[in-house]
Amino acid sequence: MGPEMTAAGQIRQLYFEWLEEWFYHAKRWKFVKYQDLEDREE
């Protein structure tokens, strides 16, 4: 395992952290949009 392997591992970890954060925000945004639609229909 050379230094390039650890670099790839770090990049992969950063990528997955970014994905997790993106999914979290996307879910929250969708939830807010759905709540907004429900409020308008009432």
Q: In this predicted model, what pLDDT tens digit does every residue of 4-40 receive, in sequence order? A: 779 999 999 999 999 999 999 888 888 777 777 777 7
The pLDDT score that the predictor gives to residue 39 is: 74
> What does pTM read for this prediction?
0.48
How many angstroms separate the CA atoms of 40 and 34, rounded?
A: 10
The residue segments making up the domain with residue 28 are: 1-42
The pLDDT score that the predictor gives to residue 41 is: 66
How many angstroms separate the CA atoms of 5 and 22, rounded?
A: 25
The pLDDT score that the predictor gives to residue 12 is: 94
Site of tokens 């949009």: 33
Q: What is the dihedral of CA 10, 13, 15, 21, to 10 degrees?
A: -140
Number of domains in the chain: 1
The pLDDT score that the predictor gives to residue 11 is: 94
